[in-house]
Structure 1
Amino acid sequence: MEYTHLGRTGLTVSRLCLGTMNFGPHTEEADAHRLMDTAHERGINFFDTANVYGRDPEGNLKGRTEEIIGRWFAQGGGRRERTVLATKVYGEMDGWPNGGKLSAFAIRKSVDASLKRLQTDHIDLYQMHHIDRDTPWDEIWQAMEVLVAQGKITYVGSSNFAGWHLAQAQEAARSRHFLGLVSEQSLYNLLDRTVELEVIPALQHYGLGLLPWSPLRSGLLGGILRKEREGTRVRGATAYASELLDTHRDRLQTYEDFADELGLDPADLALAWLLSRPAVTAPIVGPRTAAHLDAAVAALDIRLDHKTLDRLDEIFPGHRPAPEDYAW
């Protein structure tokens, strides 16, 4: 396993982060526990979850994923001590006023509930799942400072922030002499490269790590056309993912053909590309089996030359930093 620092911090994390969103809705608890054990065996020490994960199709059972992780920690054997634990706050949990978002009241309520479900006394990386346009930054940072002082959280991160939001957050934290954000979780993969415009330049400026979610774009970059032909495609993808497949079918076929030329699995190529990108700390992978996890780990050994990277840019055009991308 390869390791790196999370952004500008001294915290050491694996270059792959285990995503747990499937735990509960798609992965049974016993299988989830085995996956987490396997992740540790492979050297992955960085796990990501969220307070709202675990929802069923009706939107019930929020918090179930954290509970599954908590029961795994409770087995002992150094499981908690060897894990850099990241979870999130913002999502509405109980349908009652202040049951979500980022007021100081909601943050205090949410962190205590997550700690209880996770059966731990602290969260290593507490991430804001979305920007809250209704709560001033001074209120948010005051709440986070209290949690750090209480030892309930160690670092603060963000997710799904725009570049402007990152700048707002960091400048407000700086005025309070607070560390502020250390990482941002964004949608980033070969098909979705919008963050290259302003988010990645902001991350580089402020020294934040990037944790790309959906690195295979719901399986579209994992050899989906080959799996269709072989009859091994897993059904159950969202309607939106199916629409994306129809939209990008020709491009994905070109991509899969190129992966074949390189002798690489498309999923490994997609992960290797992300690992080569500036500011990326660790793509968040969501395996359902140990074999899927091992395939993700294999991508760490792939080094892509400039010719390969240029060809991928031709297939999936990216962005230059703004404003040069769209202005002289």
Structure 2
Amino acid sequence: MNLPQVTLGRSDLRVTPICLGTMTFGEQVDAATAHTILDRALERGIDFLDTAEMYAVPARKETFGATETILGDWFAKHPGLRQKITLATKVAGPSRGMPWVREGGGMTAADIVASCDASLKRLQTDVIDLYQIHWPERHVPAFGSMYYDPAKESSATSIHAQLEALGGLVKAGKVREIGLSNETPYGVHEFVRLAEQHGLPRVATVQNVYCLVSRALENGLDETMHRLDVSLLAYSPLAFGLLTGKYDQSGTDGPDAPKGARIASYESVRKQRWGRADALKAARRYNQLARDHGLTPAQMALAFCYTKWQVASTIIGVTSVAQLDEDLDAYGTTLSPEVLAEIDKIRWEIRDPAI
């Protein structure tokens, strides 16, 4: 599979426009199967992997760091392979109901450094190509919440201090480039402004949710990223499976979880954006549109992300080689002007139910 290369922001990182996300490794996917999936991804031309210190998910104390360990073992099995891969991982933001993350505390500059050192050890590597803040240290809407509430603000570590910690990691050779995740336009602007003002590393990427049923990024964040030369890494392009059609026969109150489906293991997710009745209603509309035009629901949903100007690289998450191949085979699919117009018509009616 001949995939092109894209440049992330103003960095020197050049990657494939599809990134393999690994959060299922260590929970839904055992180490042996994960290594088989990684082998197949490499065989098919993928050179970009994304993980995080808090993975596997659903997050549990027992599996904290498990995914990075699986990746580290895979690198150890293949000497010389690490240099061919662009490796991204993340430092967890302040604990969100996970007391095992820094004993339920916030995210200090020292925490960033300590988390990076622990990730390097688990990944069995000397350098992380792209080190991202998983969610803001500030109290901002994320993971299904809609509104910013100043009364809930609890920030204790300034963006400047976070950048100084990340800059120290870059200077030490432990990190090549930095990025953000689950960020807002304000956050992106501040990270870039302070970096340029103080000669600190400039963020190359933002990893945010982006899919047919969750396009809030197009309400202003896309302009911010375009004008500041920051690249989008789009996650959940299939809306946690809603856009595969597997839940189309589910109940009206939200997706019933078929045995083995990813959402079956995520009770918290079912209560958030992907479990909303309106999200399922919207997904059914998009899925039927795909079928009406001779496409599978997954094919149309992935093609939407693969071809949007806002997206530099789309992060796909799989639990089998078959799923991986299906997602990769969708690359190159072109959506007709008619289909794109129908997609926008549905969005105008339903907006972003899985914000």
TM-score w.r.t. the length of structure 2 is: 0.83
- Secondary structure of 2:204's match? strand
Aligned to 2:288: 257
Tell me whether 1:238 sits opposite 2:266 in the alignment: yes
How far residue 77 of structure 1 moved from its aligned partner, in angstroms, is: 4.0
CA change 1:317–1:298 in 2 (3 A) is: farther
How far residue 79 of structure 1 moved from its aligned partner, in angstroms, is: 2.3
Distance (Å, rounded) in 2 between the aligned partners of 1:227 and 1:290: 25
Amino acid in structure 2 at the alignment position of 1:13:
V
Aligned to 1:326: none
Please give the per-residue CA displacement for 1:260-297, whole angstroms capped at 9, x wherever unaligned. Answer: 12211111110110122222111110111111111111
Please give the per-residue CA displacement for 1:56-102, whole angstroms capped at 9, x wherever unaligned. Answer: 66533200110000000111243211110000012458748688644
Distance (Å, rounded) in 1 between the aligned partners of 2:60 and 2:334: 43
Contact 1:89 1:100 in 2 (8 A): no
Aligned to 1:190: 212
How far residue 126 of structure 1 moved from its aligned partner, in angstroms, is: 0.2
- Secondary structure of 1:127's match? strand
Aligned to 2:62: 60
Of 34, 37, 61 in structure 2, the residue corresponding to residue 35 of structure 1 is 37
**Structure 1: which 5+ runs fail to align?**
321-328
Aligned to 1:290: 321
**Structure 2: which 5+ runs fail to align?**
138-154, 252-256
Contact 2:244 2:298 in 1 (8 A): yes
CA change 1:169–1:98 in 2 (3 A) is: farther
How far residue 304 of structure 1 moved from its aligned partner, in angstroms, is: 1.6
Please give the per-residue CA displacement for 1:200-252, whole angstroms capped at 9, x wherever unaligned. Answer: 111111101101111111100011245769x9774415344487363344433
CA change 1:13–1:101 in 2 (3 A) is: farther
Aligned to 1:159: 181
Distance (Å, rounded) in 1 between the aligned partners of 2:183 and 2:349: 19
- Secondary structure of 1:47's match? strand
Share of identical aligned residues, percent?
A: 34
How far residue 12 of structure 1 moved from its aligned partner, in angstroms, is: 1.2
Aligned to 2:90: 88
Tell me whether 1:134 sits opposite 2:136 in the alignment: no
Distance (Å, rounded) in 2 between the aligned partners of 1:66 and 1:318: 41
- Secondary structure of 1:316's match? helix
Aligned to 2:110: 105
Aligned to 1:115: 120
Distance (Å, rounded) in 1 between the aligned partners of 2:99 and 2:324: 33
Tell me whether 1:124 sits opposite 2:129 in the alignment: yes
TM-score w.r.t. the length of structure 1 is: 0.89
Aligned to 2:240: 218
Distance (Å, rounded) in 1 between the aligned partners of 2:170 and 2:280: 47
Moved more, 183-192 or 76-85: 76-85
Tell me whether 1:79 sits opposite 2:104 in the alignment: no
Aligned to 1:147: 169
CA change 1:208–1:108 in 2 (3 A) is: same
CA change 1:147–1:111 in 2 (3 A) is: same
Contact 1:73 1:80 in 2 (8 A): yes
Aligned to 1:323: none
- Secondary structure of 2:62's match? coil
Q: Runs ≥4 in structure 1, deviation > 6 angstroms?
A: none
